[in-house]
Structure 1
Amino acid sequence: MNRTEIEFGENNCIIETGKVAKQAGGAVMVRYGDTEVLVTATASEEPREDIDFTPLLVDYEERFYAAGKIPGGFIKREGRPRSDAILNGRLIDRSIRPLFPEFYRNDIQVVTTVLSVDEKNTPEVLGLLGASLALGISEIPFEGPIGACRIGLLDKDNFIINPSLEQLVSSRLDMVIAGSEEGITMIEAGAKEVSEADITQALRIGYEFILKTIQTQKAIISQWGKTKKEFEIPAYFSEIEDWIRNNYHLKIADKIAVFDKSERQKTINLLYKQAVEEATPTFENLQGFALLWEKIVKENIQDLLFKSGLRQDGRRPNEIRPIECEVGILPRTHGSALFTRGQTQAMAITTLGATSEGQKVDGLQDEEARRFMLHYNFPPFSTGEVRPMRGPGRREIGHGALAERALEYFIPPESEFPYAIRIVSEILESNGSSSMATVCGGSLSLMDAGVPIRSACAGLSIGLMRNQETNILLRDILGSEDHYGEMDFKVAGSRQGITAIQLDVKNRGLSWELLSQALEEAKSGRNHILEIMDQAIHAPREILSPYAPKIGIIEINPDRIGSVIGPGGKIIKKIVDETGAIIDIQDDGKIIIFSRNEEGKVKAVEMIKNITQEVEIGKTYLGRVTKTTDFGAFVEIFPGREGLVHISQLARERVRKTEDVVKTGDDILVKVIGIDSFGKVSLSHKDTLSDSPVPSKDIQRSREKPRFHSKRDKD
């Protein structure tokens, strides 16, 4: 077994290898505090044919035993990964994918298994570090290592590397960065309107730390690593590339500058089929033809930009596609918007509900309730394709999480707006930056729904085309510019600052200085989009949709919560059944009633008030006999509150049998003569009997209130 320690924030990180999972290509145990992960990397012996991508599969496996928990539900074992686990897997995938050789097509699988978690340190950055080391010490060709860290920002200029969970709660920034010696390969960040200058500072500090961890990793790999398998590009690849360049370079150039995405793809695909037919008699083996074709297409797109200054759809680098915004497009939803940017279109719908309808997340940390949710749907027709629709995949979950993070900061606290909020983004057309269209559409639909958000939020993606001499940043990239370009840098926020960032690259890394320039491009573009959005709706509507739930709020003595719930939930169930309302009861005695109509809300509020009103000694009530016994009668003076009229308090004269005076169901006047330390109420009917009637103002007319006993009341 090999063991070493590296500096990793406040404490050292422990690295072990050679003890477990020895049949994997590479395996390391990474521990920081009491949080520990096992990361393995394995590759197939033979490459896959006829694919034009790196067949990398990254799995992030959470085990409930890591937190000392047993999974809930009927089947007591881990099942489908939670959304957070999928996002962590994507985090690792996006960081390492650019660092495999261009034409390497062997299947690669990286598995991160969370074995132990404490209440202070998160495991995802350890998974990134472990993936780099597992690949580094294996035989798999990997042009790493990469370093990674999390950056927090507590106060102005107080940046923290790998902050604890407690520090993250008060941090204005939560950013995970990964990078190689050449530059930054991945960013995932959520923020609270942080400035471009602060983000740049975080990138600089984080990358300096990354370089230190890379040097440490290189020493570990040189000492513990296996000899890398040789990977050579087949010699005939150069012959195929020359043939494509000589015969089809100019033909591709003629077809590349077409505005419409579908028409452009159709034309290029027809050209590709023609090229394959012509090349078949010339070459015995066409393996790699698709990859080399893509390389020539990329060169043509770059040439168009560098020679003419124009992009495929005729825009200049800093131009944004035409934007159209509409709100209130669906008649019965609580809020809706249609955001169209070129050939990318998102319809966002906001739904308001009871806070109890929020999402409860039970993971490795404590159970968490999320009252704001955003779900992203990407149907095949949005790109003119046909494929089965089998629920959200990793891409949909990732895009939805990014848009949710961008908007979450603007959601008002529950004390100001006690609703659960769900946004659904339906991507109706897609030609690049659909996640950023979701941010824009989501912001518009929130305002249309009357959610008092702090500010409007918008986002766009910045791309990059580069040659040996020049870097050109592109605002609002097309799908093809994402596919053939060097980066997809998504930035979302308000006029005041940034709330979400995501960076993916297709190279060995970008400098933080270049990314700083991209942040300024994103700021200018974001402000332009916000101006257009303001023309559709510039502030949240003052009145909620008539179809939104109606809210009633009551504050009661916390000691009376049990009275509202009733034995076994009997009382609250009756309220719900009779009114159709949803009732949220909080520990401090605050009760929030949600109803689809005003009538249900009013009725539920009144019923709860009746239940929770306080009994006053000396006060006379009109009650109903609920039960008779040998020693007296139980009388309900208002719903959920009973007292005992002892047989001696039923009449002035001696009473031999309770039923001689009252029977079950009778309405009688009673006076409160005592309340003991357990809250039991003593009543007297005798004290209400006098020669002159009791003034009506002294009688609590509880019988006039709506009752639970609906059948009896109707009688």
Structure 2
Amino acid sequence: MFDVKKVSVKIGDGELVFETGKIAKQANGSIYASYEGSAIIATVCCGAAPSEPLDYVPLSVEYNEKYYAAGKIPGGFLKREARPKDKEILVSRLIDRPMRPLFDKAFGREIQIVPTVVSSDQANQPDIIAINAASAAVMISDIPFAGPIGAVRIALVDGDYIINPTFQQTAQAQLDIVVSGTRDGITMVEGGAKEVSEEVMLKAIAAAQPVITALCDAQIELQKIVGKEKLPIIQINRDLSWLGPIRAAAYPLVAEKSFVKGKSNRYDALDAVKSDIKAQFAEVIGEDSKRSGEVDSLFEDLEYEILRKSILDNGVRTDGRKVDDIRPITCEVGLLPMTHGSALFTRGETQSLAVTTLGTASDEQMFDTIDGEKSFSSFMLHYNFPPYSVGETGRLSTGRREIGHGHLAQRALQAIVPPKEKFPYTVRVVSEIMESNGSSSMASVCGGCLSLMDAGVPIKKPVAGIAMGLITEGEDYARYVVLSDILGEEDHLGDMDFKVAGTEDGITAFQMDIKIAGVTPEIMSKALDQAKRGRLHILDVMGKTLKTPRAEVSEYAPKILTIKVDEDKIGAIIGTGGKTIKSIALQSGAEINIDDDGTVTIYGRNSKSAQTAKELVQSIVEEPEVGRIYQGTVKRIMDFGAFIEILPGKEGLCHISKLAKTRVNNVGDVLSLGQSVPVKLIEVDRMGRLNLSYIDAIEDKDAKK
């Protein structure tokens, strides 16, 4: 019934199998890809041909994970998969970015790729399978595609580069990156590291290329077996000779205004030139909206040509900088009076207001995924890009861009944030982009680092980030220029967006997107070296504002104290049905958390609250000390004496003979129920009973006066 075709390729310790012909046959292309116990169904479909040509690729990637893949039922009130989780959005971006440049804009049809995780062994990571399956699905479909692409994860563990590491190996890795590319070269790299050198990063990328080539070869083999004939790309040939005089008139004006200082001023100047040219050639353009749009395209082409020529020929950029110059930087910390930590980082026309908030264990972020058991994160970074940052109106929302940029910045800082054992706070950094003209994610890294230090978070070392660009020309990139700290125009009109973040000693986060076939090792090495010099410059500027973290956390932050108790004392602190620990929280106003190893973490609203809770906990686990005077509470009065609680849950007997030097006929004549009195522990008998003395405590206190 099914005509199933398969190909396979060895990756790491396992075999990735591409299969088609059984599942989702009505899609333009579908692949069932499996690796060990993990499996993906990847499909691709396209819509009807557009009536007008588009100047972009209408591609959407919807990676999704089904809980049943790992034998789980979704948590929460609604027991079904709902809106995409951050991880699903991040993997969708990993698939989109290397594939999008390989679709032809002229094809024009809406394209949707849907990779679905249908089986997970919770050991092998499904995102890599999904990237390769998505490429294979398009390859065998009838959708034109200049692929294939292959993808592999590389981890550095104990000095060894591991291909396609498991979740467990990745958790131990010093370096964890995803590398995608074609047979011709690398087109995308993304990942994090623990201060690795540029040399280590280059070796990891080099280790990925042979595997990527093998993955591409397997997809090409499958395409030869079952690939459909590609749909035609309808080229609309229009006579554009009428644009010649307009180009001749516009070129010198665009060349002049492309170097006006200031993003807004430059855009206004170019818009004015466009308006003047359209007015000058109004008779030629007429009322034809298509001709007006073609003039707009002409202006964009002129900007592209002029910017690239200036950089390649003269090393001069639109804002007048040299290729390796960093824009002017200003830093300010502590500008928000009531927050726990804040910083304003401004680099040229890009500005991040970064704010750090310190919380308790109850503020940790919980992740309920198919990867394993529920996990918690005590560090998070959120990135917001409001429309006013680029002088526009629009909705305030969190989209895929915000999630992607925030994840990259979080990775950059994660490596230097102390572990929970050393700094038992939950830490949240929010980067509000106030202005944007390129590299706002890296500004978030710099501002976020300063705000962490301002909040008193004892980070290992300061971290800075920089975005690099690339301009190339000729076959095999005979001419190329690497740009430091790129502007928005240089990102849009250039050949690479390459972000590197790290300390003075090494890289902590890395993201590279290539718009051309691939980059050579020479270009990548030069870009990394230039990025390091830029990063060190930025770190130096940041250090002049705040070199080390504040000695103390903000007075407005929760106060956290940690004590260690014997594991057999945990029950006493909690009490029957939690009665004791609830009583401590009520008396102190603090939150108490106890781990199984006896670590007691106290979160107080202020120092007094935390200290009160600590003393109450210590009094519970404390062993009574003979000869010590305690402030006790009379719990019961008997004919022969009174039972007095000297520590929570620990009572002793003060015999009637120990109430005074003279004879006491009635205990009630000296003590009353609930009275707080000093008593001295004079003996712990063989049965562990406590014998107390009221009169000895009084005399000892008087003697000390």
Instruction: Give the TM interval when normalised to the shorter protein.
Output: 0.7 to 0.9
Matched, 1:518 2:498: no
Cα deviation, residue 576, structure 1 = 2.5
SS at match of 2:551: coil
SS at match of 1:539: coil
Deviations 1:251-300 (A, max 9, x none): 32232112211122233345556667746438684597355553333112
Cα deviation, residue 567, structure 1 = 3.6
For residue 661 of structure 2, what is the aligned residue in structure 1?
none
SS at match of 1:331: coil
Answer whether contact 1:564 1:640 (CA < 8 A) is retained: no
SS at match of 1:502: strand
For residue 170 of structure 1, what is the aligned residue in structure 2?
172
Deviations 1:458-481 (A, max 9, x none): 110110112214111110000011
Cα deviation, residue 557, structure 1 = 2.0
Query: Could you tell me how far apart the structure 2 residues matched to 1:237 and 1:395 are?
Result: 38
Query: Could you tell me how far apart the structure 2 residues matched to 1:315 and 1:168 are?
Result: 41
Quick check: 229-238 or 88-97, which moved more?
229-238
Quick check: 328-337 or 262-271, which moved more?
262-271
Matched, 1:336 2:345: no
C-alpha change, 1:616 and 1:486, in structure 2 (3 Å) is same
Equivalent in 314, 338, 351 of residue 345 of structure 1:
351
For residue 649 of structure 1, what is the aligned residue in structure 2?
none
Quick check: 260-269 or 451-460, which moved more?
260-269
Deviations 1:516-541 (A, max 9, x none): 21111101111111111111112222
SS at match of 2:190: strand
Query: Could you tell me how far apart the structure 2 residues matched to 1:116 and 1:288 are?
Result: 48
Query: Could you tell me how far apart the structure 1 residues matched to 2:642 and 2:83 are?
Result: 54
SS at match of 1:387: coil
Equivalent in 96, 110, 114 of residue 93 of structure 1:
96
Q: Equivalences for 1:464-479 in 2 at 5 Å?
A: 464-468=470-474, 469-479=478-488
SS at match of 1:216: helix
Equivalent in 450, 456, 463 of residue 457 of structure 1:
463
For residue 496 of structure 2, what is the aligned residue in structure 1?
487
Match of 1:319, as an amino acid? Answer: D
Equivalent in 397, 419, 423 of residue 417 of structure 1:
423
Quick check: 291-300 or 400-409, which moved more?
291-300
Cα deviation, residue 208, structure 1 = 2.2
Matched, 1:374 2:381: yes
SS at match of 1:47: coil
SS at match of 2:19: strand
Match of 1:474, as an amino acid? Answer: L
For residue 57 of structure 1, what is the aligned residue in structure 2?
60
For residue 29 of structure 1, what is the aligned residue in structure 2?
32
Query: Could you tell me how far apart the structure 1 residues matched to 2:340 and 2:629 are?
Result: 47
Cα deviation, residue 195, structure 1 = 0.7
Deviations 1:118-160 (A, max 9, x none): 132101111110111011011111110001101111233x211
Identity of aligned residues (%): 43
Cα deviation, residue 52, structure 1 = 3.2
Quick check: 360-369 or 309-318, which moved more?
360-369
Cα deviation, residue 318, structure 1 = 1.1
SS at match of 1:495: coil
C-alpha change, 1:665 and 1:287, in structure 2 (3 Å) is same
Query: Could you tell me how far apart the structure 2 residues matched to 1:176 and 1:521 are?
Result: 22
C-alpha change, 1:603 and 1:241, in structure 2 (3 Å) is farther
For residue 713 of structure 1, what is the aligned residue in structure 2?
none
Equivalent in 437, 440, 463 of residue 431 of structure 1:
437
C-alpha change, 1:443 and 1:284, in structure 2 (3 Å) is closer
Cα deviation, residue 507, structure 1 = 2.3
Cα deviation, residue 443, structure 1 = 1.5
Matched, 1:383 2:383: no
Q: Equivalences for 1:273-288 in 2 at 5 Å?
A: 278=282, 280-281=285-286, 285-286=290-291
Equivalent in 386, 402, 406 of residue 408 of structure 2:
402
For residue 660 of structure 2, what is the aligned residue in structure 1?
none
Query: Could you tell me how far apart the structure 2 residues matched to 1:275 and 1:119 are?
Result: 61
Equivalent in 304, 325, 330 of residue 298 of structure 1:
304
Cα deviation, residue 25, structure 1 = 1.3
Equivalent in 254, 257, 272 of residue 255 of structure 1:
257
Answer whether contact 1:183 1:509 (CA < 8 A) is retained: yes
C-alpha change, 1:36 and 1:254, in structure 2 (3 Å) is same
C-alpha change, 1:330 and 1:241, in structure 2 (3 Å) is same
For residue 558 of structure 1, what is the aligned residue in structure 2?
567
For residue 189 of structure 1, what is the aligned residue in structure 2?
191
SS at match of 1:326: strand
Match of 2:390, as an amino acid? Answer: T
Answer whether contact 1:120 1:164 (CA < 8 A) is retained: yes
Quick check: 278-287 or 548-557, which moved more?
278-287
Query: Could you tell me how far apart the structure 2 residues matched to 1:37 and 1:425 are?
Result: 35
For residue 399 of structure 2, what is the aligned residue in structure 1?
393
Match of 1:28, as an amino acid? Answer: I
C-alpha change, 1:166 and 1:133, in structure 2 (3 Å) is same
Quick check: 507-516 or 591-600, which moved more?
507-516
Query: Could you tell me how far apart the structure 1 residues matched to 2:126 and 2:637 are?
Result: 61
For residue 21 of structure 2, what is the aligned residue in structure 1?
18
Answer whether contact 1:196 1:498 (CA < 8 A) is retained: yes
For residue 317 of structure 1, what is the aligned residue in structure 2?
323
C-alpha change, 1:25 and 1:610, in structure 2 (3 Å) is same
Query: Could you tell me how far apart the structure 2 residues matched to 1:330 and 1:311 are?
Result: 36
Cα deviation, residue 433, structure 1 = 0.3
Cα deviation, residue 431, structure 1 = 0.3
Query: Could you tell me how far apart the structure 1 residues matched to 2:7 and 2:403 are?
Result: 36
Matched, 1:134 2:121: no
Query: Could you tell me how far apart the structure 2 residues matched to 1:579 and 1:90 are?
Result: 48
Query: Could you tell me how far apart the structure 2 residues matched to 1:520 and 1:438 are?
Result: 22
Matched, 1:641 2:644: no
SS at match of 2:62: strand
Answer whether contact 2:7 2:218 (CA < 8 A) is retained: no
Match of 2:388, as an amino acid? Answer: F
SS at match of 1:267: helix
Query: Could you tell me how far apart the structure 2 residues matched to 1:92 and 1:346 are?
Result: 28
Answer whether contact 1:462 1:477 (CA < 8 A) is retained: yes
For residue 218 of structure 1, what is the aligned residue in structure 2?
220
Answer whether contact 1:184 1:512 (CA < 8 A) is retained: no
C-alpha change, 1:554 and 1:220, in structure 2 (3 Å) is same
Quick check: 437-446 or 229-238, which moved more?
229-238
Cα deviation, residue 231, structure 1 = 0.5
Match of 2:697, as an amino acid? Answer: S
TM-score scaled by structure 2? Answer: 0.88
TM-score scaled by structure 1? Answer: 0.87
Answer whether contact 2:174 2:193 (CA < 8 A) is retained: yes
Unaligned runs of 5+ in 2: 654-667, 701-705
Match of 2:608, as an amino acid? Answer: E
Deviations 1:343-401 (A, max 9, x none): 011111122222332212121122221111111111111110100113x2111111111
Match of 1:225, as an amino acid? Answer: G
Deviations 1:545-571 (A, max 9, x none): 222322222222222223323344333
SS at match of 1:45: coil
Answer whether contact 1:98 1:508 (CA < 8 A) is retained: no
Query: Could you tell me how far apart the structure 2 residues matched to 1:219 and 1:70 are?
Result: 38
Matched, 1:596 2:601: no
Query: Could you tell me how far apart the structure 2 residues matched to 1:460 and 1:332 are?
Result: 30
For residue 332 of structure 2, what is the aligned residue in structure 1?
326
Match of 1:499, as an amino acid? Answer: T
Q: Equivalences for 1:440-451 in 2 at 5 Å?
A: 440-451=446-457
Answer whether contact 2:312 2:480 (CA < 8 A) is retained: no
SS at match of 2:107: coil
Equivalent in 96, 107, 110 of residue 110 of structure 2:
107
Cα deviation, residue 70, structure 1 = 1.3
State the superposition RMSD in angstroms. Answer: 3.5
For residue 44 of structure 1, what is the aligned residue in structure 2?
47
C-alpha change, 1:16 and 1:6, in structure 2 (3 Å) is same
Query: Could you tell me how far apart the structure 1 residues matched to 2:503 and 2:629 are?
Result: 60
Matched, 1:613 2:622: yes
